Amino acid sequence: MSEYQVAQQKSPVFYDRYFRKDELQHQTHYCPGCGHGVAHKLIGEALAELGLQDRAIIVSPVGCSVFAYYYFDTGNVQAAHGRAPAVATALRRSNPESIVVSYQGDGDLAAIGTAEIIHAANRGENITVIFINNSIYGMTGGQMAPTTLIGQTSTTSPWGRRANNEGFPIHMAELLSALEAPVYIERVSLGDNKNILKARKAVRKALELQKQGAGFSMVEILSPCPTILKMDPVVARKFVNETLTKQFPLGVFRDRKPEITVVNPPQRSVAEVLGIKKETATAEEKAARKAFTHDVTMKIAGFGGQGVLLMGQLIAEMGMREHMEVSWLPSYGPEMRSGSAHCHVTLSHERIGSPLITKPQVLVAMNEISLRKFAPQMAQGGLILYNRDKVPEDFTLEGARVVCVPASEIADQIGSAKVANVVMLGALLEETECLPVETAWGVIKSFVKNEKLLAFNKEALEAGRKYVDEKVLVGACCQPDGCGY
Amino acid sequence: MRQLCKGNVAIVKAAITAGCRSYYGYPITPASEIAEYAALLIPQVGGTFLQAESEVAAINMVYGASSAGQRVMTGSSGPGLSLMQEGISYLAGAELPAVVVDVVRGGPGLGNIAPEQSDYFAVVKGGGHGNYRNIVLAPASVQDMYELTILAFELADKYRNPAVILTDGFVGQMMEPLEIEEREVKQPEKPWAVKGTAETRKNLITSIQLSADQLELHVRHLEAKYKECEKNEARYETYMADDAEILLVGYGIVSRVLRSTVDIARQHGMKLGLFRPISLWPYPSKALADTAKKCSKVMVVELSTGQMLEDVKLALNGTKPVDFYSRVGGNVPSAEEVHAEIFARMEALV
């Protein structure tokens, strides 16, 4: 064997050795004439030239490209089929100094991973996508790809791809160029050396842009797959240059930076964000408050928009500030959007078992539907606060008493229908004495920021108390049962 | 200090407390508050929130962030969790820690948004492909949501495995006082992470093992890890179980209902007790068998047609009769309802 000189070394971004099993020590994973080897080399060279080897992470997905990590002496992450852009997104965002390459085939990127590539591109992720389009599934043995040409046979398009059955080949470079965010998209070919040099430039440019933090870049590489296409390597390259390029024209589809206004959220300490404040009350002070509160279970119900959920929250917050155990459980779901809403509130000095209240001691019924629906569930000796001046004529109930408080009317007189729930809260506190009214005022002050509304709330709380104090004595009960007036 | 807090919000606060600065998710009722509060709070402490295009993308972003060494979380509900199963299998295969929250809603299919416990099989028994386990914790209160989420991050890192918070619409939506203080968080070193630095250049995150022998070795390694986890991490609590004639078994919101059932029954002179698994995987099988020794009967109550029931039967291995009561579709039994049911079944025996 005669002496020869090595004109070009392998890229330093490639490992010196790669692992192959037994009899395959002297060949790569890729078939003779396969484009992956060339594409790998272009990436390796570009990373080396740009000094990015240490910062680089190659994401290799499912397909022949899954073997990339055998060759690239960079950080490597293998991803699920089609998901490389999602994985790359989070890799890059987690370490903004990293250079992330999502290396994907046509099945991976243009079929199963369509959503991920479109949205990564649309978000303008700072990643570089190398898209190997060889018009066929290689790893799985020659099934149709989304880029398979019309008439091209594959194991799953035995009569050739038919537009009437499989649709037309998909053009990813054009498609992604319709988006606002991408900075650079070019389609290149590995069909001959001249084109390989152009591809080399494109890959380098894409990585350089990422290095600058410019945004999303993709190089679509038309690449030969001689084994699956059953062509010899030379014919396969010719197929790429003469046939594939007709369907997938080469060129730059996007090379501009979009206008991006950067909005950064305010930065706060963990304690501030979590709402952590210093505890001031001592154990003795807490225990002393016990005399001012008592256990109660309640259901608060009405139309959506009457503030029944908020009223429950106010009561729960009050209970908590009085050092009680509390729970607030809303009805939730589609009914929130129209119709009725209700919540369960428990105030207790002991640990609370079920937050679900099926026999409430107190029911606040802000409308007639709620009154009729929940009144039969009342605990013996329970109290119903009903948002009218009297109960419906045909309404009867045993074992619980009804106190009628026309809260909505009172709220209207005050000047805001919104505060009907606070009128009812005032009435509830006056009637049950489960919590001190000053606590209610303290809670309302921390919930309501608008001065005018706060004034209404103050008036409402007082009006509710006063109404119960002055007007509710007789005639509010539906039937004399020993519990009522 | 105490603050009135929603269960779903407590999860986000726990994540921030645990040092999680990465959240990738997709909205779904009744888990949306997790995404919403993550969106509001995590960027304010310098973290990343991203609403993904799908749960499929979200779990793969979790995979990416975890690969990069981040403490990372996502949250969803049944239908979204189904979409994440592939990604969770990859996480387990690649030994990546992550916290996934499933606020369970009614299924199958679109079902409804009311609470169920019907994702037990999907989460506890696997759901995705291959030999793997999720660490699964089941909170029953807002405080639990907080504590168990922090624990989930710790266990996920300790075992390099996904950990799931399996909860339901009730615990997610309800508000209770949350005892919360700033904590010092110790995050373990992750020398295996791929960060795009010279030190981590040699690292590879993958779940592919091409040869049969290689994959067997890997699966055996995971198996050993899971055995270790089973040995160390089973968690449970009991209530009035010492002298119970009938031992009730329930997790999550049901355990709260059953606690009240025990109180009601005891007022009526019926000796009930409660066993509440806190970790669903590893299942506290030994503790359950021990607790049940003195009882005459065990009764499982579940918001499913009998999923955890199988683990109870496996734990008791035929030593005790196991009765079962369930509600589904979003119906949650009241404490009185369960009590009446137990009473009726006892009457039927007389």
* Whether residue A221 is found in the same domain as residue A332: no
**CB of B331 less than 8 A from some CB of A:** no
In this predicted structure, what is the pLDDT of residue A339? 75
Q: What CATH code is carried by the domain that includes residue A308?
A: 3.40.920.10
Q: Which residues, at least 6 apart from A375, have a Cβ–Cβ distance to it below 8 Å?
A: A363, A365, A384, A395, A397, A400, A402
Residue A485, in any domain of the structure: no
CB B149 within 8 A of CB B163: no
Are A303 and A226 within one domain? no
What are the pLDDT digits (tens) for B145-178? Answer: 999 999 999 999 999 999 999 999 999 999 999 9
Residues of chain A neighbouring B55 (CB-CB closer than 8 A): none
| Among A210, A208, A147, CA closest to A200 | A208
Q: Which fold has domain B238-349?
A: Rossmann fold (3.40.50)
Preceding amide of B30 cis, omega within 30: yes
- Residue B129 dihedral angles phi and psi, to the nearest 5°: -85, 150
Question: Are residues B1 and A317, on separate chains, in Cβ contact within 8 Å?
Answer: no
The pLDDT mean for chain A works out to 93
Q: Which residues of A touch B4 (CB under 8 A)?
A: 313, 316-317, 320, 326, 328
Same-domain pairing of A250 and A295? no
Gap from B195 CA to chain A (nearest CA, Å):
6
More confident residue, A482 or B70: B70
Q: Is A225 on the interface with B (CB under 8 A)?
A: no
What's the sign of the alpha-carbon dihedral B312, B318, B319, B323? positive
Residues A225 and A344 in one domain: no
Q: Are residues A319 and A222 in the same domain?
A: no
Is A275–B174 a contact, with Cβ atoms under 8 angstroms apart? no
Q: Which residues contact B296 (CB under 8 A, 6 or more apart)?
A: B245, B246, B320, B321
Instruction: Enter the tokens of residue B220.
Output: 């055996």
- What ranges do the domains of chain B cover? 2-233, 238-349
For an interface test with B, the pick among A270, A374, A378 (most B C-beta atoms closer than 10 Å) comes out as A270
The torsion angles phi and psi of A208, rounded to 5 degrees, stand at -65, -40
Whether residue A278 is contained in a domain is answered as no
Strands B272-277 and B236-239: antiparallel
Q: Which residue of B has its CA nearest to A52?
A: B196
Residue A155 belongs to a domain = yes
Option in A75, A83, A97 nearest B201 (CB)? A75
What's the pLDDT at B119? 97
The kind and range of the H/E element at B221 are helix B212-233
User: Which of A217, A135, A122 has the alpha carbon at shortest distance from A168?
Assistant: A135
Residue A19 pLDDT level (bands cut at 50, 70, 90) = confident
Whether B51 and chain A come into contact, CB under 8 Å, resolves to no
In terms of domains, do A149 and A214 share one? yes
Decide if A272 is inside a domain: no
Please, which pLDDT band fits residue A332 given cuts at 50, 70 and 90?
A: low
Classify B84 as helix, strand or coil. Answer: helix
The count of other CB atoms within 10 Å of the CB of residue A374 is 19
Report yes or no on A234 lying in a domain: yes
Q: Rounded to a whole number, what is the distance in Å from the CA of A270 to chain B's nearest CA?
A: 6
State the sign of the Cα–Cα–Cα–Cα dihedral A33, A35, A41, A42.
Answer: positive
**Inter-chain touch A90–B2, beta carbons under 8 Å:** no
Q: Report CA Rg, chain A.
A: 36
**A39 and A86 part of one domain:** yes
A242 and A131 inside one domain: yes
Residue type, B206: T
A41 plus A169 within the same structural domain: yes
Q: Tell me if chain B has a CB within 8 Å of the CB of A352.
A: yes
> Mean of the pLDDT values across residues A200-218?
98
Are residues A343 and A198 both part of a single domain?
Answer: no
Choosing from A255, A280, A304, the residue where a domain stops is A255
Report the pLDDT averaged over residues A151-177. 97
List the single residue in B64, B170, B196 with the smallest CB-CB distance to A90.
Answer: B64
Same domain, A175 and A294: no
Same fold, B2-233 and B238-349: yes
Q: Residue A99 has which token pair?
A: 């250079």
The residue among B299, B287, B323, B310 whose CA lies nearest residue B250 is B299
Rounded to two decimals, the ipTM of the complex is 0.96
- What whole-number distance in Å separates Cα of residue B308 and Cα of residue B330? 17
In this prediction, residue A473 carries a pLDDT of 55
Chain A hits for B181, Cβ within 8 Å: 276
Per-residue model confidence (pLDDT) at position A21:
76
B259 close to A (CB below 8 A): yes
Cα gap B51→B57, rounded to integer Å: 9
Domain B2-233 -> CATH class: alpha beta
Tally of domains in chain A? 2
Asked if the structure places residue A15 within a domain, the reply is no
pLDDT in tens, B306-336: 999 999 999 999 999 999 999 999 999 999 9
Give the separation between CA B172 and CA B31, rounded to whole angstroms.
7
Q: Which domain holds residue A185?
A: 22-255
Question: CB A448: neighbour CB atoms within 10 A?
Answer: 18
Q: Of A48-57, A197-206, A328-337, B73-82, where does mean pLDDT reach its minimum? A: A328-337
